[in-house]
Amino acid sequence: MTAQTTASGKIAEFNDVFRPSKSLGQEAWSRLVRNKASMFGLVIIVFFIFMAAFASVISPMNPLELHGGKRFLPPPFDQGATNIKAEPEFLLGTDSLGRDTLSRTIYGARVSMVVGFLPTIIILLLGTTVGMLAGYIGGHTDNFLMRLTDVIYAFPDLLFFIIIMVALRDTFIGQFMNGLVLLFAALAIVNWVGVARLVRGQVLSVKQKEFVEAARCIGAKDNRIMLRHILPNCLSPLIVSAAFQIPGLIITEAILGYLGVGLRPATDSASFFITSWGALMLDGQSAINSQPYLLLAPAICVALVVLAFTFLGDGLRDALDPRMRGTQ
Amino acid sequence: MTTYIIRRLLWLIPVLLTVSAVTFVVMRNAPGGPWDTDAERRQVDAATAKSLAAYYGLDKPMWRQFYAYVIGDTNSQTKEWVCGVVCGNLGPSYRQRGRTVQNILFSPPEGKTFWQSRFGYSIRLGVLALSMAIFIGIPLGIIAALKQNTIVDYAALFIATSGISVPSFVLAIFLIIIFASRLHWIDIVVDDWTQIKYWFMPMAVLGFGTLAYTARLTRSSMLEVMRQDYVRTARAKGLAERIVIFIHMLKNALIPVITILGPALAGLVTGSFIIETMFSFPGMGRAYVQAIGQRDYSMIMGTTLVYALLVAVANLSVDIIYVFIDPRIRLEE
């Protein structure tokens, strides 16, 4: 009895002095949670993801329904300069064909969210593989792969996307899923280069470390060293670069849509991707005086999402690498 | 040094070749030939289309066409040697009949100077935006660093963060709606670009992102330099604060800032086409966007090459300047 009390007392004492150990991931997460700006960003991102996923439930109207005779209605709260009478059920007014602006903006979130996340996964996989091989194998392989990235790096990327989208728009792949697949491919082809350079640099510094040497001494194979020992040490910069990659892709999609070479607007209500924010801005451009909300609604959405990702990215960088704090 | 510059210049050749090859292959595989329709967009009959294709060498194999585009080839009908991109010949525009791409981009209208050409307009706008970014961004960053953790610093950081994250065309939309369509301070459609007042908005919109980035980088690099021992030594020997800041700190703090100016200028030049379109600015970017709309393939290709060259030259010049200003950089042998 007495022995037991002493033992549990010792454990309690031990717990007072030594907190339970946290993994690096938990440490980083708790640092991230304390960062107000990042949490604000995260909330906005989650909000838009929900908006994209449940667009059909949230949106007050069918985004494709044409309301004849109700074109360019101003929103009820801002009559503006037009003499067209606003109607209360169209919260943000209507567009040139009498479609509800709010519903179309809500559906637009789908494209931006998908364009932000899916190509990023491809970019990370491709970039990590190439960077890892170049850094680990070295020699001619490294030389060849890095010269390749140099050439792609020199290509003005926005121009490349435009060329690809313009030229291949009417081909089979350009029409597949309203052109989304083609857009993904174009974005991925150019953007993996930055990730590859990042990973290569990281691999070069990590592979000289003692623990890699130790792993090799006990007979670990190259595959195992790369995946189990080197890759985990590249994860922090990879996560941060992904957080900055996503808003870049969303902006690119919006620009392409605005230039009229992005996603094809759907007319079929069965289609999952009805329209994109860029395409909405292109529509709104012509009515900038009479119905500015056509342009403002998607523009504000793009700005909010991009700002949210920047805040999150900044927070992630501080959380994952505290030494970097405040230097950038 | 000379060998370094020469090697970097030579490296431009494969880069530009790759850019033109990729563009060429993609464009040539696009459905629909350039001569499907005439100037009024009417369908051209098969015989005319065929002779036009023969005149412009489009019936030759792909590699031959690329060779003709880059180096040059003998015209099959006039038997004259037509030089390619190496002589600055970007080929005929497919939509604006009778004009070449270089003519559209670089030639000013009748009786005007070079600066009134499409290229000239874009260069002027880019340089203005870059100067704005430098002359406002760098002082902003310095002040923020000197007043770290004060309200001034937070205000500057807020401007910088929003400037980096809000894309320029979204900013343009906000400004146009506020100043043009609501307050009526400026006109939305401007046709007289000789008046200075119209240049402010496109310049501000285009340069704001770079301004923000410059300010942020200057701030962080100043903060790093401020903690160095040699700055403490300078203070300890009783130098005036002004001298410590301007002579000792700035000299080192501005080095990283200079490195981003090349990519920044390139970004301004290539990023300008969306801003030019929004403000109906008569520059190269708007011509490019119009060419996209009209599917003017040769114009798209030519402009892409000009852009790629600009980007490459901007990066190269910064790398060269860098070697001069930072003695710690040694060129790889």
Q: Which candidate, B141, B186, B185, places its Cα nearest to that of B163?
A: B141
Rounded-to-integer distance, Cα A301 and Cα B170, Å: 10
Rounded-to-integer distance, Cα A42 and Cα A39, Å: 5
Question: Chain A contact for B161, CB < 8 A?
Answer: yes
pLDDT digits (tens, 9 = 90+) for B3-51: 888 888 888 888 888 888 888 888 777 766 666 665 566 667 777 777 7
Looking at residue B31, its pLDDT comes to 67
Q: Which residues of A touch B274 (CB under 8 A)?
A: 255, 258-259
Out of A171, A259, A295, the one facing B177 most closely (by C-beta) is A295
**Residues paired with residue B81 on neighbouring β-strands, in sequence order:** B74
Q: Is the confidence at residue B167, as pLDDT, over 60?
A: yes
**Which A residues in the span 125-184 are in contact with B, Cβ-Cβ below 8 Å?**
150-151, 154-156, 158-160, 162-164, 166-168, 170-171
Tell me the residue ranges of DSSP E strands in chain B.
72-74, 81-83
Complex ipTM tops 0.90: no
**Which B residues in the span 79-108 are in contact with A, Cβ-Cβ below 8 Å?**
none
pLDDT band at residue B108, thresholds of 50, 70 and 90?
A: confident
Q: pLDDT tens string for chain A (328 positions)? A: 444 555 566 666 655 566 666 677 787 888 888 888 889 999 999 999 999 888 888 888 777 777 777 777 777 777 666 667 777 777 787 777 778 888 889 988 988 899 889 999 999 999 999 999 999 988 898 888 888 887 787 777 888 888 888 888 777 777 777 778 888 888 988 889 889 988 998 898 888 888 888 998 998 888 888 888 888 888 888 888 888 899 989 998 998 888 888 877 776 767 778 788 888 888 888 777 778 888 889 999 999 999 899 889 888 888 887 554 444 4
Q: CB neighbours (10 Å) of residue A65? A: 12
**Better-predicted residue by pLDDT, B319 or B141:** B141
Contact partners, residue B16, CB within 8 Å, separation at least 6: B305, B308, B309, B312
- Inter-chain touch B220–A168, beta carbons under 8 Å: no
pLDDT digits (tens, 9 = 90+) for B121-147: 888 898 899 999 999 999 999 999 998
Rounded-to-integer distance, Cα B112 and Cα B107, Å: 9
Q: Which residue of A has its CA nearest to B290?
A: A259
pLDDT digits (tens, 9 = 90+) for B169-217: 888 888 888 887 777 777 766 777 777 778 888 899 999 988 998 998 9
Q: Which residue of B has its CA nearest to A299?
A: B170
* Phi, then psi, of A289 in degrees rounded to 5: -85, -45
Question: Chain A contact for B111, CB < 8 A?
Answer: no
Is the pTM higher than 0.90?
no
Rounded-to-integer distance, Cα B210 and Cα B204, Å: 10
Looking at residues B267-277, what average pLDDT do you find? 80
Rounded-to-integer distance, Cα B260 and Cα B218, Å: 11
Looking at residue B333, its pLDDT comes to 39
Q: Distance (Å) from the C-alpha of residue A208 to the closest C-alpha of chain B?
A: 22
B72-74/B81-83 β-pairing = antiparallel
Looking at residue A91, its pLDDT comes to 76
- Inter-chain touch A326–B295, beta carbons under 8 Å: no
- Inter-chain touch A310–B169, beta carbons under 8 Å: no
pLDDT digits (tens, 9 = 90+) for B294-316: 777 788 888 888 888 888 888 78
Q: Which residues of B touch A299 (CB under 8 A)?
A: 170, 173-174
Looking at residues B48-76, what average pLDDT do you find? 78
- Inter-chain touch B166–A307, beta carbons under 8 Å: yes
Rounded-to-integer distance, Cα B318 and Cα B8, Å: 12
Looking at residue A45, its pLDDT comes to 94
